[in-house]
Amino acid sequence: MSESKTVFTTCTRDCPDACGIKAFVTGDRLVGLTGAGEHEITRSFLCRKALNYIQRVYSPDRVLKPKVKIEGNWQEVSWDGVLNLIAEKIHKTIEIYGSTSILHYQGAGSLGALKMLNKRFFNLLGGATEADGSLCGGAGIAGQTLDFGFRTAHDPRDLLNSQLIILWGRNPSDTNMHLIPILKEARANKAKVVLIDPITTDTSRFCDLQIKPNPGMDGYLALAMAKVILDAGKADMGFVENCCENFDAYHNVVDGVNLESLSSMSGVSISDIEMLADLYAGRKPVAIVCGWGLQRYQWGAETFRLIDALAAVTGNIGIPGGGVSHGRDEYYYFDKSVKGREFAKNTRKIPRPLLGRSIKELNDPPIKMAFVNGANPLNQSPDTHSVKEAFEMIDFVVVFEQFMTDTAEAADVVLPVTTFLEETDIVGSYWHNHIGLVNPTIRPLGLAKTDLEIYQGLAELLGIGGGMAGSADYWIKQIIKPLKRMGITLEALMQKPMRVPDAPMVPFADRVFKTPSGKFNFITNFSIPIIDSVDYPLVLLSTHSRRWLHSQVLPVEHDLPPRAKVNPATAVAYGISDGGKANIVSPMGDIAVVIDHDGGVRENVVQIEQGRWGKFGQSINHLMPSTMSHEGKNACYYQTTVRLEKT
């Protein structure tokens, strides 16, 4: 009989929860995963996408051997052969065009800290062109950085001190499941939970009340609530006067708008605005927990700033149970110098949301080679058509992948990489304060290697091997050096995941901020246009799926057409029955879907899950224009306007 064992590891996938996992292994085969009881946040249970992950590891569609495209056909090759081929191409490309003619595009495939070393390779080469900005939370981060000088969050368990919790444009039931038990506990402590989302989501079940604003217009809702509170004399003027700057200019903005127009722009009735304002001012401390959905607009930073201002007006900052929490930098406590910036003579940055357009425009030097790891830009970028065209213009594209994604299909070489269940690494979280080790649960399948092993192999061939050398454990020890004084070492982490002892439960408790003045900085002007288009009157919210992460959908999950949810009144106006077929049409393109009538969806909204693949005709991102947020270089997916056409 094969031997059975249990291996402790940590999930590296791009999700706030960064769960502790117990993997059950029989022989060398994974047979089950469960949440680790010793992880205070995971609390013994896992989400759907983690439970499904074993199917991904053993999928017959996994890429398990290096492949080279020869005259349009994929041929399997040896590691030695493929690494020599790539090294030679790198050598020649740098000789003729310089190292910045190489694009390195790293995405969110794994949040493991060792993935920082992928960047080290390109710095050792002399510096490449990199994608800057974000497809994710860049706008919210930029907004909070302007207000607080530093974007961070309350510890998740500080919510147990709140009287009221507002979930603002966040859907934890699907995207951050381990927040749900904390919400339940908080409600058992008599806290109220309010959800602000244009769609009834599964999260609604855990809330006392939901408000459905117009998509993108939450800034006006926050402003309206602040106006009611200020006009009623319920503001915390002690906090405002002692700890804030630019209040007068902000107050002028508040005085310059009337409640009727704020109500019409936000799509929330005056009575609901007043009810929310009374709740907010009356139940201190109040925690606002913002999501990513809220800020996928050009003015995402301004929306966050208007929400921060609401919290500041009521003094809900720097106190237990208060704050405006979005997330934190998962690499904050790690030593980022392993990226080896000092080795790069030249680097060049292009904005991630404008990837296709930027590659096409680059000259001096143009992009000649591209390396993609942990990302699927031909599927996840806005305006994927232009990204595809841009990649076709690049002489040699190398993709490190587990699957033949839309991006892998467009490559010249695909290199098979391990999943996190086959790797050693270390990971922090962008929500909680725990750090966990990633331990291999099984041997790598097929010929798969880790990103680090592949870059180390290439470095050897290019004469820069010394700069990349070292085992995974060696590099982990370098990365966690700053944590040693707090007792967090590799040895200690082998016992269990650890909370960073220095991480505050309540940030800014001294009410000193990281802004130049040390004060909270009120927003004083902004531009938030009404999303309005005669030909495309609906807003397309392409939200995150409970079942999968981004584009990590298995090929077999594409057998049925995608479904979109629309309010019955809207669907009927387009003549589309429940379960009827339609095209969603944007100024950029269209996609065939089945329409589900859903009374929970606001009337001017179409909701669809993002992530399905273009090669099966199901990708949504060719409908998205490539716009970028005013602050934070963020992609603005949720601002896309569409119409429906019955088919």
Ligand X SMILES: Nc1nc2c(c(=O)[nH]1)N[C@H]1C(S)=C(S)[C@@H](COP(=O)(O)OP(=O)(O)OC[C@H]3O[C@@H](n4cnc5c(=O)[nH]c(N)nc54)[C@H](O)[C@@H]3O)O[C@H]1N2
Provide the binding-site residues for ligand X, judged by CB under 6 A.
14-15, 49, 107-110, 135-137, 168-171, 174-176, 196-199, 201, 213, 215-216, 218, 291-294, 373-377, 380, 400-403, 405, 417, 451, 541-546, 549-552, 610, 620-621, 624, 637-638
Residue closer to ligand X, measured from CB, 318 or 632? 632
End-to-end CA distance of the chain: 57
* Nearest approach, Cβ of residue 11 and ligand X (Å): 11
Residue closer to ligand X, measured from CB, 133 or 315? 133
Residue closer to ligand X, measured from CB, 145 or 402? 402
Residue 376's SS3 state is coil
* Nearest approach, Cβ of residue 292 and Mo ion (Å): 6
H or E element, residue 30: strand 29-35
Q: Tell which positions 594-633 bind Mo ion, by CB under 5 A.
A: none
Q: Are 436 and 21 in contact (CB under 8 A)?
A: no
Rounded to whole angstroms, how far apart are CA atoms 398 and 369?
8
* Nearest approach, Cβ of residue 471 and Mo ion (Å): 31
Residue in 349, 450, 455, 348 with CA at minimum distance from that of residue 121: 455
Rounded to whole angstroms, how far apart are CA atoms 23 and 9?
7
Partner from Mo ion, ligand X, none binding residue 368, C-beta < 5-8 Å depending on class: none
Alpha helices, DSSP H, located in 39-194: 48-51, 53-57, 79-97, 116-124, 138-148, 172-175, 180-188
Q: Which residue is nearest to ligand X (CB)?
A: 293
Rounded to whole angstroms, how far apart are CA atoms 311 and 307?
7
Partner from Mo ion, ligand X, none binding residue 640, C-beta < 5-8 Å depending on class: none
Residue 111 near Mo ion by CB under 5 A: no
Partner from ligand X, Mo ion, none binding residue 215, C-beta < 5-8 Å depending on class: ligand X
Partner from Mo ion, ligand X, none binding residue 373, C-beta < 5-8 Å depending on class: ligand X
3-state secondary structure string, 333-368?
Answer: CCCHHHHCHHHCCCCEEEEHHHHHHHHHHCCCCCCC
Rounded to whole angstroms, how far apart are CA atoms 640 and 216?
11
Q: Letter for the amino acid at 262? A: L
Residue closer to ligand X, measured from CB, 51 or 68? 51
Q: Letter for the amino acid at 329? A: D
Q: Letter for the amino acid at 348? A: R
* Nearest approach, Cβ of residue 455 and Mo ion (Å): 24
Partner from ligand X, Mo ion, none binding residue 99, C-beta < 5-8 Å depending on class: none
Residue closer to ligand X, measured from CB, 325 or 521? 325
Which of these segments, 26-34, 129-137, 491-499, 585-593, binds Mo ion (CB under 5 A)?
129-137
* Nearest approach, Cβ of residue 461 and ligand X (Å): 19
Residue closer to Mo ion, measured from CB, 136 or 588? 136
Residue located via tokens 């290019």: 462
Residue closer to ligand X, measured from CB, 235 or 624? 624
* Nearest approach, Cβ of residue 347 and ligand X (Å): 20
Partner from Mo ion, ligand X, none binding residue 638, C-beta < 5-8 Å depending on class: ligand X
Residue closer to ligand X, measured from CB, 417 or 480? 417
Residue in 525, 521, 431, 531 with CA at minimum distance from that of residue 218: 531
Q: Tell which positions 130-149 bind Mo ion, by CB under 5 A.
A: 136
Which residues 6+ apart lie within 8 Å of 39 measured at CB?
19, 20, 434, 436, 496, 497
Question: Sign of torsion, CA 593 597 600 602?
Answer: positive
* Nearest approach, Cβ of residue 47 and Mo ion (Å): 15
* Nearest approach, Cβ of residue 453 and Mo ion (Å): 27
Which residues 6+ apart lie within 8 Å of 462 measured at CB?
87, 90, 91, 125
Q: Letter for the amino acid at 510? A: D
Which residues 6+ apart lie within 8 Å of 493 measured at CB?
426, 435, 436, 437, 480
* Nearest approach, Cβ of residue 497 and Mo ion (Å): 22
Residue closer to Mo ion, measured from CB, 348 or 550? 550
Rounded to whole angstroms, how far apart are CA atoms 362 and 369?
13
* Nearest approach, Cβ of residue 243 and ligand X (Å): 27
Residue closer to ligand X, measured from CB, 500 or 554? 554
Residue 100's SS3 state is helix
* Nearest approach, Cβ of residue 299 and ligand X (Å): 10
Per-position x/- string for 490-509, each x denoting binding to Mo ion as judged by CB under 5 A, each - no binding: --------------------
Residue closer to ligand X, measured from CB, 145 or 376? 376
Q: Are 101 and 395 in contact (CB under 8 A)?
A: no
Triad 398, 404, 407: Cα angle to 5°: 50
Residue closer to Mo ion, measured from CB, 131 or 136? 136
* Tokens at 39, concatenated: 């992880």
Partner from ligand X, Mo ion, none binding residue 424, C-beta < 5-8 Å depending on class: none
* Nearest approach, Cβ of residue 375 and ligand X (Å): 4
Partner from ligand X, Mo ion, none binding residue 263, C-beta < 5-8 Å depending on class: none
DSSP string, 306-342: HHHHHHHHTT-SSSTT-SEE----TTTTS-GGGG-GG
- The helices-and-strands tally (H runs, E runs) of the chain is 22, 27
Partner from ligand X, Mo ion, none binding residue 302, C-beta < 5-8 Å depending on class: none
Partner from Mo ion, ligand X, none binding residue 163, C-beta < 5-8 Å depending on class: none
Rounded to whole angstroms, how far apart are CA atoms 33 and 51?
6
* Nearest approach, Cβ of residue 106 and ligand X (Å): 8
* Nearest approach, Cβ of residue 132 and Mo ion (Å): 16
Question: Sign of torsion, CA 411 637 113 128?
Answer: positive
Residue closer to Mo ion, measured from CB, 170 or 565? 170
Partner from ligand X, Mo ion, none binding residue 280, C-beta < 5-8 Å depending on class: none
Parallel, antiparallel or unpaired: strands 425-427 and 209-211: unpaired
Residue closer to ligand X, measured from CB, 367 or 540? 540
Partner from ligand X, Mo ion, none binding residue 142, C-beta < 5-8 Å depending on class: none
Q: How many residues bind Mo ion (CB under 5 A)?
A: 1
Distance of CA 155 to the CA centre of its chain: 19
* Nearest approach, Cβ of residue 79 and ligand X (Å): 15
Residue closer to Mo ion, measured from CB, 124 or 136? 136
Binding site for Mo ion (CB under 5 A): 136
